Structure 1
Amino acid sequence: MPLSNRPGYLPLLLRGLLAGLAAGLLAGGFAYLAGEPHINAAIAIEEAASGGAGGEAPLVERDIQSTVGLFLATGLYGVALGGILATAYTLLRRHLRTGSDTQAALGLAAAALTGIVVVPFLKYPPNPPAVGNPDTIDQRTAAYLAVLALGLVAVWAAVLAARTQSHQWRRAAAGTAAFLVVVGIAYTLLPTFHEVPADFPATLLWDFRISSLGTQAILWTALGIGFAGLITPARQKATVTAA
């Protein structure tokens, strides 16, 4: 059966898109307040290192990029993630061992945050505009996509390992061990890039990275909570109607 024909998929998809839009705008607000000052500081360092030569004028002014462009990007990104979360919920809900729709939605969001945000961040933390070698962008992109995929594999392995055990503490231990094994192998096999200039301010670098991680954490947390909040009343209404 095509996914679009599954009962209840389109209403769930719409709720996912709405939750994603709200989460994206919320994350955009955090990025504007906590991240943009660090980006501006990094750009100033880059311009100072080049003697003030800014090169070609940007097609879009920096002020517009950091406001309209930022919120547009995070909003669209949130909508896309909301659609993905709703689709994953539709496909995986029956396989999740919980009777709570809220727990199911929050669990999927937490798994995504861990697999596609935290795992890649610890191996390849983001760098501000002034950091990075343009000659290695293809290698860095490929490595990032690889660690992202392996992060999801690690989450999947943790779930499978946990289900082999009957006791709560054994499930936690087995899941944690499987997750760490996959992540450890991924981190060992994937290349490491050292492209941060020695004279780049360490505080600025880590402030930027933490703000980037915070943006993603807020987006996925808000998306999970928003989606769970939107689907629970819908499920309850469907149950009452069916009764």
Structure 2
Amino acid sequence: MLSKLFGGKGADSSEFQKLVERWDSFLSKIQTRFHEVIQQSEEPLNGVIENLQYDNVIIHNIKNGLHDQAVTQLSGKTDEGWEKMKLEMSKLGVSWDLITQQHKKADEMKYQLAEEFQKFEVRIYADAARKILDNVKKHIDMNKLHSCTQCAAELPIRIYSFMAVNIKCESCGSVNTYQPDDRIRALEYYVLNHLAEEHAFPAKLKAKTDKNAQKEYYQLYYGYLIDNIPDKKEYYERDMNERINNPMFSVGF
């Protein structure tokens, strides 16, 4: 009892070193399995992306399944393995400081794997976004004429609009409502959000250890959206300022 409270087996103990070697080997196997899951998904995912049309729903479903395999399940196995290892170390009389050091290895590995998966997720969503954008560009007629419903005069329509707009006809003065193509509207959710995330992602990673980088992330993310969706500039500026100034939004970093 006293050995557990006031010291116990030291780091030089051969029994303890054998347990550490087993623990390190176990963690290495978890990491190897994580990378196997990701690598084995690459080719099938590329095929899925190549066959996308105008949404990424299937990518979302695949990503959730991969996250369960590569992060949730492996984190669970790591925790189960640690409980067994902690019990063996306790029976050996290893000091709590040394036990805590070994537990920290598991926490650091799980954090690393979660971050690696996050990078993978950002990349596949961005690749899917570029494919969807390419599809939309191929099927939207940029030369299509839009005529006034009253006098048939040509209206100055911006094809890549993301909101319904009222346009006054210069010829007769009547007001026409232009509804953007649904495929263009969908670009905001299925394409531009993900490309904005890819653009700002390095700042998000930096923000995990540098709180000042959170502002940089939001400025990059919303700046990208404002540049590409000028129709909603005021909306995105409000959202950006709210997230920069409200401490609640720092929780996600």
Q: TM-score range by the shorter chain?
A: 0.3 to 0.5
Name which one, 1 or 2, has greater alpha-carbon Rg. 2
- What is the TM-score normalised by the length of structure 2? 0.32
Q: Which has the higher contact order (CA 8 A, sep 6+)?
A: 1
- What is the TM-score normalised by the length of structure 1? 0.33
- Write 1 or 2 for the structure with the bigger share of helix: 1
